[in-house]
Structure formats: structure tokens, C-alpha cells
Chains A and B, each alone.
Chain A
Amino acid sequence: MSDHITKAYDEDLAVLKTMLAQMGGLVEQQLDDAIDALSRRDTSLADRVIQNDEKVDVLEHQIEEKAILTIAKRQPMARDLREIMVAIRVSSDLERIGDLAKNTAKRTHAMSDQLPRKLMAGVTRMGRLAQEELKNILDAYGHSDATKALEVWRSDEDLDALYNSIFRELLTYMMEDPRNISLCTHLLFGAKNMERIGDHATNIAENIHYLVHGKPLAEGRAKKDITSTMSVEPGQHSED
């Protein structure tokens, strides 16, 4: 897009975009570390994630302030206005993703070495998938690419599907031996965190669509997380 007559206005918008890129990078790192910490049961790395979450929060406030100041000073219209509104919304989704990464890292302390490798692998796999979704959506946002955003938006159902199967699996383990319950519950929350991260990524995708097209993404995505109604009866075994 061509430049504003007032150069300082371009600068305001560029600064905002840079802050978001920075926040996106930080949140990506946090998620990566949280998954690493959990899968390797590395409590010191987990603690670092917990500490660093404050940086994410600070960035969110700074972005909000910058956005409000730009609105007050420039009275943005059309695409500029959407750019700023979307920046505020994306930063709030990123902040939530940061919280979920932190919460996942916290659970590292509750993990023990007796954890079945297979169970951990499932949650880690979800983590990697969520990470990829986050990376792709941040790329799409960086390039204001609505097509790519739509791809990410659609791909979230893979994460939902994986969550459903892990949910079932964890329930089965708990059923088999009550001593698994504590660990499995933590893993379940970890998996739920990853599923939520995917949902925040789809929020960002919808905002990118709005940013580019000026209209909301109206198509309802079929909610593929069916765990709210899922139950496993005693004696019933996991499918995989």
C-alpha cells in the first residue's frame, strides 16, 4: 500500500506492526520452551517460561497503548482503522496463548518419570501441531495474507481431532489404574491448553480475513472438539 502523506503516520503503523512481530516471536519461543520443558520434564526451563510470561504481558500493554494513541492522534479510517483494531485483538490472542504456554510449563513440576512414554508423546505431538499453527498464522499476519490465514483456520480441525483421541486415551488410562489419575489430569490440561492455542490461532485467522477484506469470516467452522460429551465406560479400551 502506498504511503501516507504524513510520514509519521506510516511510522506509527510500522512501529505497531513491529511490536506485534516481536510479541509473536516471544510467544512462539514461550510455547516451544513450554513443550520442551514438559516433554523432557525440565523444571528449570519451565520456571523460565513462567518468569518470561511477564514480558508477554508488558508487550500487550505497550501495543494497546500505542494503538490507542494512534487512534487518538490520526483518527484512522478504512484499512488503517482495521489494521489497528486487528492489532489490538491479535495482541490479546497472543497474550492468551502466552498464558496457556505458561500454564503448560507449570505442570512440568507435577510430571514424574513413571509416565508412559506413549502418553507424553501424544501431548507433545499436539504441542508441535499447535506450534506449527501459531507459526503459520503469525506468518500470514506478517504478510497480511488472508489466503494463508484461511488455510490455518481450516487446519485447526487436525488439532481438534488429535485432542479428541488423546482425551479418550487419557480417560482409558485413568480407568485402568487410578494411580494414573493425577498425571493424566495434568496431561489432559496440557492437551486442552494446546487445543485452546489452536482456537486462538483461528481467532487471529479471522482477524486477518477482516483486515484484508473488511468483512467478517462468516462461514461457521464445525467445532471438532467433541470431548465435552465424551465418556469412556469401564472395560472399554482405547482405540489405538
Chain B
Amino acid sequence: MNAPFQSIVTPASPRIMAERPMKIAAKDVNIYYGDKHAIKNLSIDIPDRAVSAFIGPSGCGKSTFLRAINRMNDTIPTCRVTGNITIDGRDIYDRDIDVVQLRAKVGMVFQKPNPFPKSIFENVAYGPRIHGMSQNKTDLEEIVVSSLKKAGLFEEVKDRLNAPGTGLSGGQQQRLCIARAIAVNPQVILMDEPCSALDPIATAKIEELIDELRQNYCIVIVTHSMQQAARVSQLTAFFHLGTLVEFGDTDEVFTAPQEKRTQDYITGRFG
């Protein structure tokens, strides 16, 4: 034998984390619903301008934690959040925080599209109007058009902006909800299974949209579709029984996960 045997594995690939500024930081977060301890000592740093996917079996706490990021849990009386969640270094559970402002900054898209029972135009215009983001009608129109364009919906609805939003197809409604979230100029977009009620074509359109939006936003998506997480995200977090088991580059999590529990879940072995 010649040279002594050295390293047999390549060093870990540069983490996506290191390349992007951090947006959301959670430290020692615990969430309770009454007696139920739904999230246990969770700490995670979520980068800006990237899609982070939360995966895990039902009841693992991924949606609970997602909702804690824009304080949606405040509406549940028995829900209690301890620990620290910051966005750009600012504690979002601080007393001074205006929750309405927070939710404009941290938009949310739900599993089932939930447009307001109003026109397409009004659905998007509502947020900017109540937040006083426009001086006049032209301003407002501009915001609505540009939001619909960013959500990839404008071309399909430009001739019927006054038609009811609820008359659109499921996929279009979901993109309308994304346009509505974008209209108030958010920094973070939370998506809770945004495609689970959509057909594959509509799903592909939303995924394409997510991929475009990540240039400008910090996106966190909860999904039950592993393939979707693998397709759209740069980082993947695996939750199990209220704990964060693994958080890493999506490319690694789906080809060579560090933790056995992750491996068992993504390969369909969970017993």
C-alpha cells in the first residue's frame, strides 16, 4: 500500500443556510393546547429568499409551528406559546407588536382556497385598502394588477376583474389567495398544504409560482406530499411528535438523511 488511507467521504456540501441571510429564528419554542404539549423545545433558523418545507406525519406539530409564525394560534384560547420567535431579530410575541401588522408582513395561504365572497379585484384590493397602502384609485389598481401578475393569474382574469372570486377554479382561487397575500407587501409567506385540494396541473402552476416567489420572499410551506417538498424547497424540516428531528438541505434530506426517523418517514416505513 502506498499513501496512508485518509478521508473516504467528501466534506458536507455547503449548507444553503450559510449562503442566505436568516429571516425567522425560533429558540426553545414550546406550544401547548391546554394540557397537550404540541411543540417541544423547538429551535430553528429559517433563511430568507428560500423555500423551507415542513414535513411529518399528521399531528407532528408542523402546522402548529407554522401558525405560531404569524400568531394565528392567538385565536385559539387554550393555546400557549413559550420561548422566542423572531423575524429579522424582532420578537413577534413582544407586547408592542401589532398583530394585524404582523399578519400583513407574514402572509398565509391555506389548504382550501378561501377567497372573500367579493369580486376578484376586491379580494386583492381589500388588504392594501385597510392598511392604507394606496393614495388613490389608480394606485390601488396598480397594486391589484401587479399582485395578480406576480401570482400568475392576471392573464386568466384580466377581462373579468369584477366577477366573483368564488367563481374561479380551485387552482385559480388558490392563486387569487396568493395574490391577496402578496398585495400587502409581505416579507414572509406561510403556506399550509396549499395544493392538497388541487389537481396536478393546478398544483404544478402553484409550484412554479412558489419557485418564482422565492426570489423575493421567505417562504415556509407545510406539505404532506414528499415529492412536492423535494420539488419546491431548498430546505426541509422533518417534524415528529412535536420535535424537529432534522432540518437540512432538501437535496440531502431526500437522498441521504442524517436521522433514521427521517429516513423511515420519507421512504414510507413509519410504523
Contacts and interface: CB of A to CB of B under 8 A. Distances in A.
B266 A218 contact: no
A214 B255 contact: yes
Which of A74, A82, A215 has its CB near the most chain B CB atoms (within 10 A)?
A: A215
A78 interface: yes
A53 interface: no
A4 interface: yes
Nearest to B270: A5
Which of B3, B7, B9, B262 has its CB near the most chain A CB atoms (within 10 A)?
A: B9
A6 interface: yes
A9 interface: yes
Interface string A58-81: 000000000000000011111111
A80 B7 CA distance: 26
A3 B2 CA distance: 43
Contacts of B5: 154, 219
A5 B268 contact: yes
A230 interface: no
Interface in B85-140: none
Interface residues of A, number: 28
A16 to B, nearest CB: 15
Given A78-B255, A78-B256, A154-B1, A2 B7 contact: no
Nearest to A77: B266
Which of B3, B7, B269 has its CB near the most chain A CB atoms (within 10 A)?
A: B269
Main secondary structure of the interface of B (DSSP, over half): loop
Interface residues of B, number: 25
B6 A79 contact: no
Nearest to B230: A77
B271 interface: yes
Contacts of A209: 8
Interface of A: 1-6, 9, 74-82, 150, 154, 157, 209, 213-219, 222
23 contacts: A4-B267, A5-B270, A6-B268, A74-B268, A77-B254, A77-B266, A78-B254, A78-B255, A78-B257, A78-B267, A81-B254, A150-B8, A154-B1, A154-B5, A157-B1, A213-B256, A214-B255, A215-B10, A218-B8, A218-B9, A219-B6, A219-B7, A219-B8
